[in-house]
Each structure stands twice: as C-alpha cells, then as structure tokens.
Structure 1
C-alpha cells in the first residue's frame, strides 16, 4: 500500500468521527483544504491543511483531550507518519499547527476568545499560550508563516454544511507531492 492509499484508508475509518467540534474529522479536513485552495495557497499548504489533523487517527489521539484529559500530541503523530513521504514544506506546518495556536494566543489580541471550546480545552492541555520567549523562538522557524496559515484554516474550517470538493479530488495533489523514492514503502 502506498502512503496516499494509507491516508485515504485512515479517512475512511476515522473521518466520520466527532472530535468536539460541529463537524466530523473529514468535513474539517476538507474545509481546511478548500479554504487554502480558495486563497490560492501553494499545493504544499493545501496538503498540510488537508492532513494537519491526521495524527488524530493514530492511537486514539483525537479523543484523548475529551476522553482522558490528556494531550494526544496529534501534530507529532501525524508528522511522524507522513515525514518519510512528503517534503518539509508539508510536514512542518502540520507539526507546528498546535504551536501556532499557542503563538497566536500569546501575540494576537482577541485570538483566544475566538477559539472553540474544543480548541480551548486542547490549548490548556498543550501548554497554554506561549511565553514571550517561546513566541520569539517560534517566529524564527523558517516555516513560521506557513504554520500560521495552516492554523488559520484550522480555526476557520469548522462550518456546518460548507460545500467542499471531495476527498478524492485531492488524490492527484497528494500523489504529486509524495516522494517517489518512498512512495510504496507503507505497510
């Protein structure tokens, strides 16, 4: 099985799950990717927006906040799954999207007040807003802007009944971004 088929299998198995928002995991992912496309974001950002929460599907990471009051570190789980197959321009914003929330809570007045209750719960479990030093360090990351961009799609992609392209419509994009040397290495 190749990585793109594995991604689609994960969405088929877990995409219908609720994760504390008003939309399913799949609806959220498709909305985020659609919003990125509408803004003309590069394919790497569209892919990161689509896949930013795929780590929620690994070892029940997506239900840990509400179920057991712990952080499932879904950003790192997703990054670890995808890292052998996709370029850093896809992986970094995925891994950094949680820290982008923590950054925005620290640096952007009013941002935290706009978080959903599920995002507020996960923020507390993820360490809360960054300290000034943490925020300054985060700004130095070469993928800082991309992480913020994906975070904004993450925050916006929670609308009921938003019309979006199908998951299948992203297969070519993902296949085109996947590293051909490792493309068939998934077991």
Structure 2
C-alpha cells in the first residue's frame, strides 16, 4: 500500500513506516529549509554522532512521523493548527516499539517548551518553530520544567529536541534511510 497525497495512511506493518518516509518524506518540512526525510536523517545522524543508544537513534529518526500521516500540505502553524504530531507519532510507534523509543518522541515538544524558558534557546528557534511553540502552549514556567524533568525519558527527550532543532541544514550529508533501518528493526519488538 502507498499513500496518496490527501488520504490518512496508518501503517500496519513496521516496513510501512519506511515506505511512508519514502513516499511522503520528500515533501517540504513546512516552514523549514529541508524536507521531512532530510530532517529525519539529519536528526538520526546527529544522534548517531553523539553515540546515542539504538532506541534513541530510532526515536530521532521517527520523531516527526506524525506529520506525515495525513499528507497535509502547507504550514499548519500559519493556519493556527497544532497537529499534535508528537502524540500521534508516539501512539503509532507504540505498535512496534517500547517506551525507550516512544517516550522521547512523545516528550520532544514538551522538551522544546522546557528549553524555551531560556531566551537564548527561544531566539535560536526558526520562525516556524516559534509559531508552533505558541500553539503548543508556549514556554514552561519553573514548576512545569521541574515536573517535566521528573518524567521517565525526559533527558532523552531533551537530547532528541536539541538534535531536532539542529537537523534543518540544507545539503547536510547523512547516511541513507536504508542505512538506519537495521537499527530500527533491532529496536522493534520481535513480533513487529
């Protein structure tokens, strides 16, 4: 099965995630200078370069898969839409992966909100990331940051978020999706 531009495509098999990235990943990452696949590969490459464990590298590769499920074109944040991609991605990925993959994905927006309390971090965000941050509830206050830090996988989500922010450079050379896929398969549950 392959997705058309307008339909929602919910992968049923692990291999369909790879096909989804290949089919819809070449669409422009809205508001950014790279496409979705370039962003995913850059994020995974940054995780790999940092020596991240396989599960966190897999989370880095798949963290934005929720953006690709509906084949929506345009820039949702310009339309005032928070697509809740992190929740949709974590729910989808839970079919094949444990919390060491799904929780950093689910928490990567909360990690942005925690980091955005630092004005230097906020200023370094792209225009679209600032716009989506506002739709996602804005920067956390001190109490919310403390509560976030207590969640399992918060540290991994913070690392993922920093790679996410850095994975938007046009022309950056990365390994291919096929080079990362064996790591994804190793992290999947045996029945995936």
TM-score normalised to structure 1 length:
0.91
**Cα distance, 1:63 vs structure 2:** 4.7
Higher RCO (Cα < 8 Å, 6 or more apart): 1
Partner residue, 1:30: 41
Partner residue, 2:126: 116
In the alignment, structure 2 segments of 5+ residues that lack a partner are 1-10
**Cα distance, 1:84 vs structure 2:** 2.0
Q: Which of 169, 172, 176 pairs up with 1:159?
A: 169
Q: Which of 147, 156, 165 pairs up with 1:146?
A: 156
Distance (Å, rounded) in 2 between the aligned partners of 1:128 and 1:102:
6
The 4+ residue runs of structure 1 with deviation greater than 4 A are: 60-64
Partner residue, 1:130: 140
Q: Is the 8 A contact 2:55 2:100 kept in 1?
A: yes
Q: How does 1:58-69 map to 2 (within 5 A)?
A: 58-60=69-71, 63=74, 65-66=76-77, 68-69=79-80
**Cα distance, 1:120 vs structure 2:** 0.6
Aligned residues: 181
TM-score normalised to structure 2 length:
0.89
Q: Which of 42, 48, 56 pairs up with 2:59?
A: 48
The RMSD of aligned alpha carbons is 1.6
Does the residue aligned with 2:170 lie in a helix, a strand or coil? coil
In the alignment, structure 1 segments of 5+ residues that lack a partner are none
Q: Is the 8 A contact 1:4 1:174 kept in 2?
A: no
Partner residue, 2:81: 70
Does the residue aligned with 1:98 lie in a helix, a strand or coil? helix
